Amino acid sequence: MGNIVWIPILGLMGMVFALGTYLLLLKADEGNQKMREIASEIHNGAMVFLKREYQIILIFVAVVFAVISWFISVYTGFAFLLGALCSMLAGFFGMEAATRSSTRTCQGAIDGKMPLALTIAFMGGSVMGISVAAIGVVGLGLVFLFTRDPQIISGFALGASSVALFARVGGGIYTKSADVGTDLVGKIEAGIPEDDPRNPGVIADNVGDCVGDTAGMGADLFESYVGSVIAAIAIGATLANPLKWITLPLIFITIGLLASLVGIFSIHIFKRLNPQSALRYTTYVSGIVFIIGAYFASMIVGGRLNEFWAIITGLITGVLIGIESEYFTSGNPIKEIAKSSQSGAATTMITGLAVGFESTILPVVTIAIAIPIAYAFSGIYGIALTAVGMLSIIGVVMSTDSYGPIADNAGGIAQMAKLDPEVRKITDKLDALGNTTAAIGKGFAIGSAALTALALFSAYQHAVRLSSIDLTRPLPVVGLLLGALMPFVIAALTMKAVGRAAYKMVDEIRRQFKSIAGLLEGKAKPDTGRCIDIVTQGALKEMILPGLLAVILPLVVGLILGTEALGGFLAGATVCGVLLGIMMTNGGAAFDNAKKWIEEGNLGGKGTPTHAAAIVGDTVGDPFKDTTGPSMNILIKLMAIISLVFAPVFVTYSPLIMGFLRSIIK
């Protein structure tokens, strides 16, 4: 098993495949002049955001690189750098493809109806999907090739996590402030419809969809993907025959990458079916190929099937959490919310919040059942493998997920470019399906974050050589309490952040309506770039405080209260973060879909007081599902990775600091 040079090579093959898909995509017809203009504005806006974001990330990365190199080792520092660069590369690549696909999807709907539109949108999404998987395999493979030290490899995960923090939290604040700000002035004050080109914020709003749903989700899942593998490697390194167990997760994800490629390629066979079945079958194909491959890998590398079953447990857990999320965001619960809207916004809110709370039950019970099963098969290592199993076919899962925003944007372009209503019908159908895949994707993201955080939590225990995290002692209880507090703090900060950033946007749009003569009459052009700029700056500024807290507090707890208390801290943050994350993500999506269900003509349809009440729910649900909820995924993983990477520092300094504090008290 020593020679694993083929792992990064296969990963590189995946990257070539992604590049090929991208080049093929560029060849597709991008439509008329008007369509190209709009698409290029969205593309440029997204790139403005990415550029700004990456500038801040680079400063952050430089500081952390220096700290790691000084306190831990320069090798870990370089692994960290590589992790950050890989995540940025995947994000950049995915965004490039996504923003260039929308207009081509539109034109595809004109030229080849549904099958061509579906294929193009899915291909656009698959660039992100394959990039995430392939770049992960290459990066991990390379770090592993040059060093077999799990401590150094964990630096790679911290790099991925740092980028995810900015992409997910910053992106989440961006997308919702742009959305809320644009609607508040455009729809409510000026009385012009959504996606109206006279509104200076409309491009920023469309950019937000890419920034949040594509780049944010990609970085989030990339972090989970890398984190789960690294947790498995760190735990595997402590077992007998370590080389075998630290190679196995890398082999699993490489098989997963190949399986994803097969699945993605199979869309060409299924594209004439209805889109829902087509997307489902591609995922099935990948799943089956992966299961067969994982079976042989387990037998050949491990010499037994225990690890195979742990992987299968993870796959099933992922599928179940996806289905459970789908039910709570599209089944009876959304009708319940819609019906309660008949007695006003207050009852909408009460029912929607209750649905959010309720939707935590099944996923958490699913995870609680998966843990002892995986443990029975392969101990703590098995728990880490469930996370790997869940994320193994990320390539295809992420492709079906990122196809959604492409279809959504295609609809916006069809509207703005005044295309044949038939086109909009096709993109609407694709978009509606995108909402379902997005809900499944978000369930998948929080589920994988939970399992990854648990796996990293176990890896942390090994790294600081904890014999126990004992809740019969006071400091771990204090840690647990403070850790559980963290998701509430981040929730408060991110929800307020959306409000503040949105108000800056409101001021700017109002200013333009006042100062640009002829804007409302459609005679002058709005300064959309300035809106993008303002909301970009606002979002990135607002994410600094929550980001710093997530990075610094685990260090403070670990150094002052000790490694055992930090274990309690991570446990508290993980359980509370998972619960709050599921509650907000599902609750928010349920609010959204309740409103859409009314708009389909139920309970009186658009324009009724019932609809107005549902809109209030949807507006509250927006930051729930796109900002605060997903921030929980990042929070729990980032804090666990920070603790893992800084384990050597805690082991050295924490006893000194604690001893010093004790001597003061005495």
Q: Which residues bind a second copy (CB under 8 A)?
A: 184, 340, 343-347, 349-351, 353-355, 357-358, 360-361, 364-365, 367-368, 371-372, 375-376, 380, 383, 454, 458, 461, 466-472, 474-478, 480-482, 484-485, 488-489, 491-492, 495-496, 498-499, 567-568, 571-572, 575-576, 578-579, 583, 615-616, 619-620, 623, 665
In the complex with a second copy, which residue's Cβ is closer, 307 or 401?
307
Min dist. Cβ of residue 379 to a second copy (A): 9
Min dist. Cβ of residue 192 to a second copy (A): 18
Min dist. Cβ of residue 342 to a second copy (A): 11
Min dist. Cβ of residue 474 to a second copy (A): 4
In the complex with a second copy, which residue's Cβ is closer, 339 or 424?
339
Distance (Å) of CA 489 to CA 348, 493, 494, 554, 648: 25, 6, 9, 14, 28
Min dist. Cβ of residue 613 to a second copy (A): 9
In the complex with a second copy, which residue's Cβ is closer, 390 or 579?
579
In the complex with a second copy, which residue's Cβ is closer, 517 or 665?
665
Min dist. Cβ of residue 231 to a second copy (A): 14
Min dist. Cβ of residue 600 to a second copy (A): 22
In whole angstroms, what is the distance from residue 499 CA to residue 507 CA?
13
In whole angstroms, what is the distance from residue 530 CA to residue 204 CA?
9
Distance (Å) of CA 55 to CA 59, 131, 468, 540: 7, 22, 41, 11
In the complex with a second copy, which residue's Cβ is closer, 477 or 520?
477
Distance (Å) of CA 284 to CA 263, 310, 628: 8, 19, 31
Q: Which of 21, 213, 258 is nearest to 122 (CA)?
A: 21
Min dist. Cβ of residue 518 to a second copy (A): 27
CA dihedral 100, 51, 445, 596 (to 10 degrees): -60
Min dist. Cβ of residue 517 to a second copy (A): 27
CB 347 within 8 A of CB 340: yes
Min dist. Cβ of residue 36 to a second copy (A): 36
> What phi and psi values does residue 429 have, to the nearest 5 degrees?
-65, -40
Min dist. Cβ of residue 320 to a second copy (A): 15
470 token code pair: 């004992």
Neighbours of 308 (CB within 10 A): 22
- For residue 594, the SS3 value is helix
Q: What is the DSSP string of 96-113?
A: HHHHHHHHHHHHHHHHHH
Q: Report the run of H or E that residue 199 belongs to, with start and end.
A: none
In the complex with a second copy, which residue's Cβ is closer, 117 or 553?
553
In the complex with a second copy, which residue's Cβ is closer, 95 or 235?
235
Min dist. Cβ of residue 354 to a second copy (A): 4
236 token code pair: 């595997």
Min dist. Cβ of residue 318 to a second copy (A): 17
In the complex with a second copy, which residue's Cβ is closer, 351 or 643?
351
Q: Which of 250, 220, 221, 253 is nearest to 236 (CA)?
A: 250
In the complex with a second copy, which residue's Cβ is closer, 372 or 518?
372
User: Quick one: 379 exposed, middle or buried, by C-beta within 10 A (0-12, 13-18, 19+)?
Assistant: middle
Distance (Å) of CA 587 to CA 58, 216, 218, 335: 35, 19, 22, 13
In the complex with a second copy, which residue's Cβ is closer, 221 or 570?
570
Min dist. Cβ of residue 304 to a second copy (A): 16
In the complex with a second copy, which residue's Cβ is closer, 16 or 346?
346
In the complex with a second copy, which residue's Cβ is closer, 359 or 528?
359
Residues recorded for the chain = 666
Min dist. Cβ of residue 477 to a second copy (A): 6
In the complex with a second copy, which residue's Cβ is closer, 96 or 564?
564
Distance (Å) of CA 503 to CA 41, 86, 140, 182, 588: 23, 34, 42, 10, 21
Min dist. Cβ of residue 618 to a second copy (A): 8
Give just the sign of the alpha carbon dihedral 445, 447, 451, 453. positive
In the complex with a second copy, which residue's Cβ is closer, 135 or 469?
469
In the complex with a second copy, which residue's Cβ is closer, 47 or 466?
466
Q: Which of 220, 323, 218 is nearest to 280 (CA)?
A: 323
In the complex with a second copy, which residue's Cβ is closer, 268 or 335?
335
CB 243 within 8 A of CB 380: no
Q: Which of 77, 53, 103 is nearest to 219 (CA)?
A: 53
Give just the sign of the alpha carbon dihedral 165, 170, 171, 176. positive
User: Quick one: 537 exposed, middle or buried, by C-beta within 10 A (0-12, 13-18, 19+)?
Assistant: middle
Distance (Å) of CA 569 to CA 77, 106, 536, 565, 659: 25, 49, 32, 6, 20
In the complex with a second copy, which residue's Cβ is closer, 523 or 606?
606
DSSP assigned state of 624: I
In whole angstroms, what is the distance from residue 396 CA to residue 400 CA?
6
Min dist. Cβ of residue 27 to a second copy (A): 44
In whole angstroms, what is the distance from residue 657 CA to residue 69 CA?
21
Q: Which of 395, 402, 412 is nearest to 434 (CA)?
A: 402
Q: Scan for tokens 């943050």, then name that residue.
A: 573
